[in-house]
Amino acid sequence: MQDGFIPLSVPNLKGNELQYVTAAVETEWVSTGGPYVNDFESKLAAYVQAKGAVSCQNGTSGLHISLLLTGVTSEDAVIVPTLTFIAAVNPVKYIGAEPIFMDCDDSLCMDPLKLERFCREECDFDGEILRDKQTGRRIRAVLVVHIFGNMADMEKIMDIAKAYHLQIVEDATEAIGTYYTEGALKGKYAGTIGDVGVYSFNGNKIITTGGGGMMVSDREEFLKEARHLTTQAKTDELYYIHDKIGYNYRMTNLQAALGLGQMEQLEKFIETKSQNYALYQSLIDGMEGYSILPFRQGTRSNHWFYSLLCAEGRQVRDELISRFSEHNIQTRPIWGLIHQQKPYVNSRSYQIERAAYYWEHVVNLPCSTSLQTEQVRRVVEVLQAR
C-alpha cells in the first residue's frame, strides 16, 4: 500500500453497472434509443426533486443547450466565473455571445457582491434589459458554477437575477447531491435553483457514465425544447423533417445503464467523500502553513474535491505537487484562470482578485470514492515531510 499509486479521482464501478450494461448489450439497445435513458432521466429528476431531466452527451453540451434555452444569442453577453474549468465557458462562444468574467469569493464560487456591483455600476438597466455600458451588449444570463461540489451563494445570486431580469444557468457538473439544509432555499439541490441546471458524469465525477450529462428544470417548455434540440430538432420521425438547427447530443443507452448503477450508490459515495474530507481536515488542522478549505455552511455538500490551501503560495504549491508526484500521489492545482487563457484575453473581466489568489495557493488532494483511510494518512504524511 505504501508504494501504491494514489490517483486524484477515479471511478468506482462496484455496484450493478456491469449487470445493467450487459442487459443493454444483450437486448442490442446500445445507441440513443432504449429504456435505460428514460429510466436514468426520471430517477435523477426524482433524486434532485426537479420536474424533469433531459440527458445529453456531456456537461458541455448540456450547458450549450441550456444557454440556448435561456434565449442567449450572438448579440448578448453572459456573466461567467473565471475560476472554473474552461468547458463551462466555451459554450458561450459556441453561440457567438461574449463572456464577462467575474471573480470568486472564499467559497471559490462566483462572488455575488461583485456581481451585484457590476450590474449596478457597470451596466444600464431600463427596468427590463440590462446592458453593459462598455460594450452595449445585453446581459441575458449568468452562468453559475458550483466549484468542487461547494454551493454558490444562490440566495443572493437569485435576488440579483430577479432584480435585473437575468436568467440563471447552474453548472452543477461537480455538485450532484449538494443541497441547502437551512435558509430560504432549504431542501433545494444544486442545479435546481436557477432556470436550468446541468450535471456531468465524466470519469472523474462522483458518479460517472464514462461521458454523459443531464439537464434539469422545473420549466416544462425548457424540458420540451431541450429534448427537441438534443435529438436534431426532428418534427417528423418518419420523413425526417426538422424545424431548427439541432444537435446529436442524446445520451446512449449504454451510458444510461452505467449511470443507473452509479445512481444507486450516490449517497454511499457522498458519505465516503464526507468522511474522508473530515479525516483530512482533522489530520491537517493546526499544521503550519496548510489548511483545508471549508464548504458552505447551511448546505450538505457532496464533497467532490478537497482543496488544500498553501499559505506561502505558488512556489510552495508547485513544490508540493512535485513532492506528491515523487511519492506516487496524484494532485493538481486549480485550473488556469479563463480570462487569462489565449481565446479569452481580450474578453471583459471585472475586478479579478480572489480567483488569482486561490489559483496560486490551492492544491487538490486525492478524493476518489474508493479512497481508503490509510491512503488519506499517507497523503498527509507526505505533506508533513518537509
266-384 CATH fold: Aspartate Aminotransferase, domain 1 (3.90.1150)
Across the range 348-375, mean pLDDT stands at 98
Q: Is the dihedral of CA 230, 31, 192, 43 positive or negative?
A: positive
Q: What percent of the chain has pLDDT over 70?
A: 99
Residue 166 burial by Cβ neighbours in a 10 Å radius (0-12, 13-18, 19+):
buried
Q: Provide the pLDDT for residue 1.
A: 38
| pLDDT single digits (tens) 109-120 | 999 999 999 999
Tens digits of residue pLDDT in 18-33: 999 999 999 999 988 8
Q: What is the pTM of this model?
A: 0.96
Average pLDDT value for the chain:
97
Q: How many helices (H) and strands (E) does the chain have?
A: 12, 18
As a whole number, mean pLDDT of residues 229-246 equals 96
Residue 57, all three cell numbers? 452527451
Evaluate if residue 322 carries a pLDDT over 90: yes
- The second-level CATH assignment, the architecture, of 17-263 is 3-Layer(aba) Sandwich (3.40)
The pLDDT value recorded for residue 313 is: 87
Mean of the pLDDT values across residues 306-327? 95
- State the pLDDT confidence band at 385, using cuts at 50, 70 and 90: confident
Q: Of 25-34, 150-159, 280-289, which range is least confident?
A: 25-34
Q: CATH 3.90.1150.10 occupies which residues in the chain?
A: 266-384
Q: Which residues pair with 341 in a beta bridge?
A: none
Are 143 and 184 spatial neighbours (Cβ–Cβ below 8 Å)? Answer: no
Pairing of strands 179-180, 299-300: antiparallel
Average pLDDT value for residue range 184-198: 98
| All CATH 3.40.640.10 domain ranges in the chain, comma separated | 17-263
Question: Taking a C-beta distance cutoff of 8 angstroms, is the pair 216, 55 a contact?
Answer: no
- Torsion sign across C-alpha atoms 68, 71, 77, 78: negative
Going from the C-alpha of 196 to that of each of 64, 224, 233, 296, the distances in angstroms are 11, 12, 19, 22
Please state the rounded mean pLDDT for residues 325-349.
Answer: 98
pLDDT of residue 164: 98
pLDDT at 382: 97
What is the average pLDDT across 215-241? 97
User: Tens digits of per-residue pLDDT, 119-155?
Assistant: 999 999 999 999 999 999 999 999 999 999 999 999 9
Q: For residue 3, what pLDDT band results from cuts at 50, 70 and 90?
A: low
For 172, phi then psi, to 5°, come to: -105, 30
Q: Is the pLDDT of residue 2 over 80?
A: no
